[in-house]
Amino acid sequence: MQLEVLKKMENPLLKRVEVTFKAIHKAEPTPTRDALRAFLAKELNATKDIVVIDSQASTFGRYETFGYAKVYKTKEKALAVERKHILVRNKLIEPEVKEKKEAAPKPEKPAPAAKPAVAPKAEAPKPEAKPEAKPEPKAERPSAKEEKKPAAAKEERKPAEKKEEKKEEKKDEKKAEPTKKKGGK
């Protein structure tokens, strides 16, 4: 693996050196954050525990990884300045494990009492409940296809009206049929 430092910038306020780098790793998988920290430490003459890799990304189909790292003067300064999740990723601190509160033991339910073998007593008559008024469901209107007019109503109409109704029924039937492509394969 080869490591190239693309940009190196001194930050005296935070007492660190900010580095943009490119790692070329032919015929190898993407290097781990730990391996990159070791290479950067060797390249920049520092110890591994003061190098913090902020981000790294490799492109699909290429053997290159670009990244951004920070090299602090001391480990204490790194721990004071950096965000916790970045320190955990770089294995400079251990992740915090949330402790589960010990729940008080749940009281056990008493076993159900055995039912006596005595015949049940006659129960007092219950007052009759008033039937609740339920709204009647709305009658659904049948669709135009399903709607058929009675034959008696058709006979009373004039012959011209009958022809118009037949034309409308044919139109409805044509719309309902699937269309066929002419000359299609």
Name beta bridge partners: 69.
Answer: 19, 53
When divided into structural domains, the chain yields a total of: 1
Tell me the average pLDDT of the chain: 80
**Looking at the domain assignment, is residue 182 inside a domain?**
no
- Binning pLDDT at 50, 70 and 90, where does residue 167 land? confident
Domain range enclosing 80:
2-89
What's the Cα-to-Cα distance from 21 to each of 43, 50, 70, 125, 152, rounded to whole Å? 11, 17, 11, 88, 91
Least confident of 23-32, 48-57, 106-115: 106-115
Is 85 part of a structural domain of the chain?
Answer: yes
- CA–CA dist 82, 77 (Å, integer): 8
Answer whether residue 134 is part of any domain.
no
CB 52 within 8 A of CB 86: yes
Residue 178 in domain: no
Q: Evaluate whether residue 74 is within a structural domain.
A: yes
Which pair of structure tokens corresponds to residue 164?
């118009």
**Alpha carbon distance 43, 22 (integer Å):** 12
pLDDT band at 29 (very low <50, low <70, confident <90, very high): very high
Question: pLDDT tens, 107-166?
Answer: 666 666 666 566 656 566 666 666 666 666 666 666 655 555 555 554 565 667 777 888
- Residue 17 lies inside a defined structural domain of this protein: yes
For residue 41, tell me if it sits in a domain.
yes
Q: Domain holding 6: CATH number?
A: 3.30.70.330
Which has the closest alpha carbon to 30: 64, 70, 68, 69? 64
What is the C-alpha to C-alpha distance for residues 70 and 78, in angstroms, rounded to an integer? 9
Residue 168 falls within a domain, yes or no?
Answer: no
